Amino acid sequence: MSTEHLFAPVAIGSLTLPHRGIMPPMVVNLCDLDGSVTDRFIAYHVARARGGVALNITEAAYVHHSGKGFVRQLGIEHDGQVPGLRRLTDAVHAVGGLIAVQLFHGGRQASPELTGGVVAPSPIPCPVVRAMPHELTVPEIAKLVQSFVHAGVRAREAGFDAIEVHGAHGYLINEFLSPHTNHREDAYGGDEERRARFPLEIVDGLRAALGRDFPLIYRISASEYLPGGLTVADSGRFCRRLVEHGIDAINVTGSIYESNRVAGGPWDPLGAFVDDAAGIKEAIGGAVPVAVANRIKTPEFADEVIASGRADLVCTGRALICDPDFYNKARSGESGLIRVCLSCNHCMGELMSGNPLSCLCNPLAGREVDYAWPSTASTVREVVVVGGGIAGMEAANTAASRGHHVRLFEATGVLGGHVIAGTRPPFKAEIGACVDYERAALAANGVEVSLDKPVDAALLAGLGADRIIVATGSDPIVPALPGADGPSVVTAEDVLLGRVDTGADVAVVGAGSVGVETAELLCAQGRSVTVIELADDMLSDLSATLRAPLEARIRQTSTRFEFGRRVVGFGEHEVQTESGNLGPFDTIVLAVGYRPDTELSRALRSAGVAHTVIGDAIAPRKISDAVLEGFTAGYAV
């Protein structure tokens, strides 16, 4: 499919971009605690610039310490941060890239643990952050306007090519504009004109300090997706005023913390905010370019959005976390080798937990400074990988990319391991993209793949390989309890892969993510489901960010939960617990975890054959662990 619309140049004020694909601001927690730039942060941005993105927009950079939202967030609040920012822009420019900085204040959604308290236009707490904000006085508002202006001057001194003003996602500027969060009755609140005063004073201040030719972008949540919140019609009227005040481009996103659509998941449509962007573009009459973000995951879809005229630029945020070479691969006709973002929000979960950036299926995300990549090995070696799950495929691809001769043996007839079963619950099909990528890369890298080929220690010892990597995965746990081998007891994997007919009444033992996702699938199939769990709550294996949408969905079904139940055995069509029996059930589904398959590794150790064990064969964990261990094992050859 053609991508001619995506790769057409476009101007943002005085700045001409080589094409229409930009990286939106995303906090990655890679800076120092004081907000200063690190080598890790620079390497992250350089990788995306080298990968062909038209414009990097850094993460939200706080303009005042009262607005800091994340532990290792970028800062631009004082002159001492300028030299580090200059190192960043110089590095991006050195590889032919363009870079903008986003100016930010968290308002009531800042982190009170970092700031000592939060501020807002009105004393209305965010239900997510929960801290009661201090209502800003008029003199305090004036000082914050100047904080944005001074930050803009620093941005120009640091060599940035453009500035974006963060007026979205429920942060301070958005809070002033929205009737949902601004209940003031003075010059900064009340009607639409007064609520717009704070953001327009910031824009006017930046224009006065930087001149008309410096490119200014404004990011807006076109709709807050809340009763009483901003609508696309409201935002369209405001954007007309932004253009009058000298804004050169509008970057459309949506939602605030409360409405929980900031980072869309697979339950959202692709291009979730594209229609909102079209509304903004119509409202301003095409006066300036309009960008749009959220679930734009492939070059083909990006081109379609632009060709339709609904937006002029696309923001591929998580797509560039997942594959920094997204645009280079698209331009060279290698779209099939793009690691497609899964919209799994692993990256968001890590961020909200205060951790540095990582990606479920890109092992280098946030670790670019740690590895010379791509790289070629000085000596070609013979490498054997046992196991065609995600860890094994990543190890094989990484080693082959470095020039080694690689053979991969998989005991079954299918590559992908447990991820295949993981794609079957509702809203999980997109997870399969990580398998699709690895399979395509195996072919592109010339890896010799043998399916339906179980191997043993003797066979491996006779191959004469320089390196053996064992990625034999894990098996579902069947507890050593009376009746666990009965005919009505199956594993979650049996259900997910369609191996069994469960009947109408089903018990699921275990309320971790596998158990709850299996229950969700069974409910979608019209089954009556009871989930039995020893703990007092569900989904303890997920971060709060990833847990919230799944828990909300399962609680909307008819699923019955039995918490605090210790299972002691299984009768015919019943689950026996210390506090009484539950049933009858047509089928009892076990979702109590996995145990590593260590048989081959133990046999190799006994035979004295050197090898490396990775992934679930060490301990069952996340896809991200499997990918990282596969990469490091392949890289180390």
Inter-CA distances, 283 with 250, 290, 310, Å: 12, 11, 12
| Whether the Cβ atoms of residue 255 and residue 225 lie closer than 8 Å to each other | yes
Q: Which of 364, 421, 418 is closest to 630 using CA atoms?
A: 364
Inter-CA distances, 81 with 42, 104, 157, 192, Å: 14, 15, 11, 36
| Whether the Cβ atoms of residue 505 and residue 575 lie closer than 8 Å to each other | no
User: For the residues of 611-624, what is the DSSP string, one character each?
Assistant: -EE-GGGT----HH
Task: Locate the DSSP E strands across 268-424.
Answer: 290-293, 313-315, 382-386, 405-409
Within a 10 A sphere around the Cβ of 71, how many other Cβ atoms? Answer: 17
Backbone φ/ψ region at 510: left (φ over 0), alpha (ψ -120 to 50), beta:
left
Residue 480 per-residue DSSP state: S
Which of 171, 327, 594, 635 is flagged as catalytic?
171
Inter-CA distances, 516 with 494, 496, 556, Å: 15, 12, 13
Q: What is the dihedral of CA 598, 600, 605, 608, to 10 degrees?
A: -170
Give the list of residues 6+ apart from residue 327 with CB closer than 8 angstroms, or none.
19, 21, 51, 52, 53, 54, 299
| Residue 188 is a catalytic residue | no
Using DSSP, state whether 253 is helix, strand or coil: strand
Sign of CA dihedral 381, 386, 387, 391: negative
Residue 18 per-residue DSSP state: S
Q: Which residues are catalytic?
A: 171
